[in-house]
């Protein structure tokens, strides 16, 4: 399973080369396949259940605290972008800063992906109402997305988080309020969540910065 999982992650990057640049606004959103494709490229196994209320408290520099699964980062390089970021972990707080550098005619983004299960299987989060995140957004456009195995057109459900430069805030995001980015709206099925993504994105070049203390469910 480990070898298969690594192969699927590599395929995730290769899939992005097929998005193209001539499809207008719909194509621009489709180019964000990197954020949502986690739900499609990972192996579809039996649904996990009894998910811990804390997904990641950032007590480890590389792996999520509840699962021991690697965090991984996806950017816009496959569609001509050059977005980049750096991470610093101190006292259980992950500080992220970087620059969004979009490709021509495309949005730019940096996405940190947190798997909901160590195997990459969809996790049944139906016992919870939504996602809980303790965060400070200092600069740039930030959102949280939930990536479902039921969404098969590279879209995803997301919610923007406003800037909170005055300090950390616990933000609660109901699953029922998360919206698909570019395709026909459907309700998010919390029984099919493969990953939670922390996303900085913009249509223009610019910097971003955020500090995250904990991600979980409520």
What 3-state class would DSSP assign to 104? coil
Pairwise CA distance, residues 127 & 49, whole Å:
9
Model-wide pTM > 0.85:
no
Q: What is the CATH number of the domain that holds 58?
A: 2.60.120.430
Domain count within the chain: 1
Q: Cα angle at 189 between 137 and 31, to 5 degrees?
A: 55
Q: Which domain holds residue 175?
A: 2-217
Q: What is the residue-level pLDDT of the chain in tens, covering all 218 positions?
A: 443 333 334 333 333 333 333 344 444 444 444 444 444 444 444 444 568 999 999 999 889 988 999 999 999 999 999 999 999 999 999 999 999 999 999 999 999 999 999 999 999 999 999 999 999 999 999 999 999 999 888 789 999 999 987 899 999 999 999 999 878 899 999 999 999 999 999 999 999 999 999 999 99
């Amino acid at each position: 399973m480990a070898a298969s999982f690594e192969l699927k992650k590599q395929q995730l990057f290769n899939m992005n080369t097929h998005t193209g640049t001539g499809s207008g606004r719909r194509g621009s959103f489709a180019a964000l396949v990197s954020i949502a494709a986690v739900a499609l490229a990972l192996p579809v196994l039996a649904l996990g259940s009894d998910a811990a209320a804390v997904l990641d408290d950032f007590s480890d520099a590389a792996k999520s605290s509840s699962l021991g699964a690697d965090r991984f980062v996806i950017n816009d390089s496959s569609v001509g972008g050059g977005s980049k970021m750096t991470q610093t972990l101190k006292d259980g707080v992950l500080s992220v800063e970087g620059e969004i550098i979009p490709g021509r005619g495309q949005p730019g983004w940096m996405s940190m992906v947190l798997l909901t299960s160590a195997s990459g299987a969809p996790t049944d989060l139906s016992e919870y109402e939504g996602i809980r995140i303790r965060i400070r957004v200092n600069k740039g456009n930030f959102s949280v997305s939930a990536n479902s195995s039921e969404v098969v057109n590279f879209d995803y459900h997301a919610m923007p988080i406003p800037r909170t430069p005055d300090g950390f805030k616990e933000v609660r995001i109901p699953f029922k309020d998360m919206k698909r980015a570019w395709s026909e709206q459907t309700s998010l099925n919390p029984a099919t969540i493969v990953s939670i993504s922390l996303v900085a994105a913009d249509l223009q070049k610019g910097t971003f910065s955020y500090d995250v203390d904990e991600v979980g469910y409520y």
